[in-house]
């Protein structure tokens, strides 16, 4: 029987798979306080963590017995993968199961921002709707426009597939061209600058790394069309929030929809929240009931494999298995 720390309540159907182990779960629906986390992880063999927990040298120093860390998310920018690898600790994550749900959300945000749905709702709720008005809240079309996708991993490809339904041309930028995706979905690789200049709508799906920090900055926004929509479904710090506020205020771009922000959560008095052409939601990309159960289940499966000394099936640092010695 191994000792396990779970840093947030997870779906009971997934949690029960851990029955054979001694499990301690932080019972509250908020991030586990850091001090308590470091205390609890001290005698744990495995940890099931959330993207709001920082797994770094301090965490790993505290968790001397850890043989596996399993995160209930696909993105692992909160985890120092190199530090885990150096200590021989595999890190599980949850790719695939959230791809389609997150791509759906990218489209929901894109349609909402481009067609000004939140503004329409506010208009109705504010009692302003007196009659049909041919000039009311005119937005930007999606159909037969150009969609630019930055990051062409699983989620980027799923966003691209959906564009066929809107007869859109799709261009993309990623660390390297992806010929297999180009063949399957007909997308075309562009430099970042060309993508920004040509796209009517830009969706960010890239991983957050030191190289992608504030990838969308003043210069990038200045290249975009004044009518363009920017959607961020990846990680907040891909976008410089001050530069985005300025671009939205000055009409350098048309609208933005953010599932993720920098910082996260975004303070209620942040300027972006005062802009009618900016839609912000609280990191809900994978938030469907079915997908969150699938994520929790996958996270538990990774944890169980690591605890049993088996290879973690969805491993974010596979090089941990090919280290010398
Ligand atoms: C992830 O998995 O990385 C998302 O941001 C949460 O679904």
231-243: average pLDDT: 98
Banded pLDDT at 325 (limits 50, 70, 90): very low
Catalytic residues: 235, 264, 283
Pick from 50, 100, 102, 295 the residue to mutate for probing ligand 1's pocket: most ligand atoms within 8 Å of its CB.
Answer: 102
Dihedral over Cα of 281, 226, 240, 212: its sign: positive
Helix (H) or strand (E) holding 101: helix 99-114
Query: Is residue 63 classed as helix, strand or coil in its secondary structure?
Result: coil
Pick from 285, 296, 316 the residue to mutate for probing ligand 1's pocket: most ligand atoms within 8 Å of its CB.
Answer: 285
Residue with tokens 């205390």: 39
Helix residue ranges per DSSP H, 132-204: 154-162, 179-185, 192-198
Q: What is the pLDDT of residue 323?
A: 65
Q: What is the pLDDT of residue 176?
A: 94
Dihedral over Cα of 143, 149, 152, 158: its sign: negative
Mean pLDDT of the chain: 97
Beta strands in the chain (DSSP E): 3-6, 22-25, 46-49, 68-71, 91-92, 146-150, 169-173, 188-189, 201-204, 229-232, 255-258, 278-280
For ligand 1, what atom is nearest to the CA of residue 72?
2
pTM given for the model: 0.96
291-307: average pLDDT: 98
- For 166-195, the pLDDT digits (tens) are 999 999 999 999 999 999 999 999 999 999
Query: Which tokens go with 137?
Result: 């809240």
- For 73-113, the pLDDT digits (tens) are 999 999 999 999 999 999 999 999 999 999 999 999 999 99
For ligand 1, what atom is nearest to the CA of residue 291?
7
206-235 burial string, b = 16+ CB within 10 Å, else e? bbbeeebebbbbeebbebbbebbbbbbbbb
Residue with tokens 């910082």: 263
The residue among 77, 10, 97, 99 whose CA lies nearest residue 316 is 77
Distance of alpha carbon 323 from its chain centroid, rounded? 29
Query: How far apart, in whole angstroms, are the C-alpha atoms of residue 6 and residue 252?
Result: 45
| Cβ-contact 239, 204 below 8 angstroms | yes
117-123: average pLDDT: 98
Query: How far apart, in whole angstroms, are the C-alpha atoms of residue 109 and residue 257?
Result: 6
């Amino acid at each position: 029987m191994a000792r396990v720390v779970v840093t947030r309540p997870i779906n009971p159907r997934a949690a029960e798979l851990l029955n054979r182990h001694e499990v301690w779960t932080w019972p509250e629906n908020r991030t586990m306080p850091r001090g308590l986390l470091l205390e609890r992880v001290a005698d744990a063999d495995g940890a099931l963590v959330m993207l709001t927990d920082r797994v770094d040298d301090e965490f790993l120093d505290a968790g001397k017995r850890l043989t596996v860390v399993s995160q209930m998310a696909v993105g692992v920018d909160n985890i120092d993968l190199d530090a885990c690898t150096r200590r021989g600790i595999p890190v599980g994550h949850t790719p695939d199961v959230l791809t389609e749900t997150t791509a759906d959300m990218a489209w929901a945000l894109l349609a909402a921002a481009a067609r000004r749905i939140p503004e329409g709702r506010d208009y109705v709720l504010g009692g302003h709707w007196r009659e049909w008005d041919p000039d009311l809240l005119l937005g930007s079309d999606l159909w037969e426009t150009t969609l630019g996708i930055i990051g062409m991993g699983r989620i980027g490809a799923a966003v691209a597939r959906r564009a066929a339904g809107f007869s859109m041309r799709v261009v993309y930028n990623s660390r390297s061209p992806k010929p297999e995706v180009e063949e399957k979905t007909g997308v075309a690789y562009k430099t970042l600058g060309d993508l920004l200049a040509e796209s009517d709508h830009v969706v960010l799906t890239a991983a957050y790394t030191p190289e992608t920090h504030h990838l969308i900055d003043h210069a990038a926004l200045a290249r975009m069309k004044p009518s363009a929509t920017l959607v961020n479904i990846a990680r907040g710090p891909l976008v410089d929030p001050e530069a985005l506020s300025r671009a939205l205020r000055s009409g350098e771009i048309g609208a933005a929809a953010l599932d993720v922000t920098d910082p996260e959560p975004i303070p209620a008095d942040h300027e972006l929240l005062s802009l009618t052409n900016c839609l912000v939601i609280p990191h809900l990309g994978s938030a469907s009931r079915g997908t969150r159960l699938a994520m929790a289940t996958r996270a538990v499966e990774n944890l169980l494999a690591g605890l049993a000394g088996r290879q973690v099936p969805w491993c974010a640092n596979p090089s941990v298995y090919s280290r010398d010695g």
